[in-house]
Structure formats: C-alpha cells, structure tokens
C-alpha cells in the first residue's frame, strides 16, 4: 500500500534547500530513502517525487539486469546470505555484484548488517573484511560504504578501505551515545539510518555528526505526505 501511494505522489525535483557534497557526490539535501523499500530498482524516481535528496536500492543479492533512469544520487546496497555460501565464496559473491552494479551506482553499500549477512563480519573478522574492501576498491571507482549495526562496529574499522559507513540504529540511543559512535568513525562519511520519524530525529543525527540521514519507517507507516512534510519542515 505504501509503495502504491508513493508512486502516485508526484512533485517537483528534490528540495535543493540544503545542498551537500558527500564522498564527492552532490546531494540536493541530505535526507534519503533507505534500502529495503525499492529492492529491485523499479521506483528510482521515488526519492525525487518525495522531495528527498537520494535513495538506496536493494539489498541486491543476485546479479539481475536493472533498467531505470536515474533522477538523483543512487546507492546500490548489496548483500550475501550466510546460509548459502562460505567466507571465501562470499568474497567472490560481493565482488561480482559490485562489478555488476557499480556502473549504475553513485555509491555502493556493502551490507553486513542484515541477519543473513552480518555473520560474515562476525566469522570473517578483521582479515576477511580488510580483504573484501581491498578487492572492491581495486575493482570499482565509485565510493564504497559499509553498512553495519551500531553495536557491531568493529574496533578496527579504521583499517578498512572505506569512503563511508551506513550506521544502522535499532533503538533510540542517547544523543551523547550517538555523538561518541560517530566521533569514533572519523574520518569516514556517515549515513545514519533507523528510527528516524521526526524533524528532531533528523536534526539530532546531523548535529551529532552524520553527513546524510535515511528514512524508511516514516514512509511505510505514515505515507508519502508525511515524508514531504518532514522535508519541508526541516528546510522551509
């Protein structure tokens, strides 16, 4: 139902009221749509229609031909299934998907936060993760982000060849806790996602150090009008 309402909600281009350049990419504003809503790239005009500055497609777990016209910055979120492959096989899997989708993406997001993909981070540890991102950076030229749950950010994340970190929050942390989390991720660019429902949520994430903020539940639970109102309320 939310997808149908969002597709019918037509408006002008993204509200270019708070332009930012992050990872070398120009964003009309720093509020975007998280992965999970458009899993196959069939609604890539959705972010523009809602007044958002960007969106993520995915998670993509197979090589599939995607045909769409980009209407703004687009992230491709790719993931693997721990039940279907070994650690070595997952390296091949992630690199193949990255090579397949990099030409269509403004940035790639390597998803190690979902229930089916985060065991790779736990089992592979530092060595596997460093190897993965070294291979990815040798293969593609677009910025690469790691998506990880906030409580699973490894101490050695600074050793990775990353451009940014998509931090997935599963609870409403204290402002000071979020500031500490984001401070530890410097100099990576930070995309904050999870639990963003209000203007205060967005402002708090940005003031705490996030460069970009993504929404998901707001669109699913309250619809496209609420998203548009949020964007307009933040940057009138």
Tally the domains of the chain: 1
Return the CATH number at 104. 3.20.20.70
The Cα 203–Cα 208 span in angstroms is 8
State the DSSP H helix or E strand holding residue 212, giving kind and residue range, or none if neither: strand 212-215
CA-CA-CA-CA torsion sign (161, 121, 79, 157): negative
**Domain, as residue range, for 77:** 2-234
Find, among 102, 60, 106, the residue nearest to 79 by Cα: 60
Burial 174-209 (b: 16+ CB within 10 A, else e): eeeebeebbeebeebbbbbbbbbbeeebbebbbebb
Question: 57-100: per-residue pLDDT in tens?
Answer: 988 888 776 766 677 899 999 998 888 889 999 999 999 999 98
Question: 115-172: per-residue pLDDT in tens?
Answer: 888 889 888 899 999 999 999 999 999 999 999 998 889 999 999 989 999 999 866 6
CA dist 218 to 37, 40, 59, 175, 197, Å?
Answer: 11, 20, 19, 20, 5
Q: Is the pLDDT of residue 23 over 70?
A: yes
């Amino acid at each position: 139902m939310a997808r149908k309402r969002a597709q019918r909600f037509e408006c002008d281009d993204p509200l270019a009221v708070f332009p930012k350049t992050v990872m070398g990419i120009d964003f009309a504003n720093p509020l975007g749509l998280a992965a999970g809503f458009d899993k196959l790239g069939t609604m890539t005009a959705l972010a523009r229609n809602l007044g958002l500055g960007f969106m993520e497609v995915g998670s993509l777990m197979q090589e599939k031909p995607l045909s769409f016209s980009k209407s703004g910055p687009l992230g491709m979120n790719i993931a693997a299934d721990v039940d279907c492959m070994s650690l070595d096989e997952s390296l091949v899997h992630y690199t193949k998907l990255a090579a397949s989708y990099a030409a269509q993406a403004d940035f790639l997001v390597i998803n190690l936060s979902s229930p089916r993909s985060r065991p790779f981070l736990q089992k592979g540890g530092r060595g596997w993760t460093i190897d993965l991102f070294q291979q990815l950076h040798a293969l593609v030229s677009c910025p690469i982000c790691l998506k990880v749950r906030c409580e699973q950010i490894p101490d050695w994340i600074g050793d990775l060849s990353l451009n940014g970190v998509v931090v997935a929050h599963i609870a409403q942390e204290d402002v000071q806790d979020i500031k500490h989390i984001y401070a530890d991720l410097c100099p990576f660019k930070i995309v904050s996602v999870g639990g963003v429902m209000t203007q205060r949520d967005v402002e708090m994430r940005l003031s705490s150090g996030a460069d970009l903020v993504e929404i998901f539940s707001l669109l699913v639970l309250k619809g496209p009008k609420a998203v548009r109102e949020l964007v307009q309320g933040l940057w009138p």
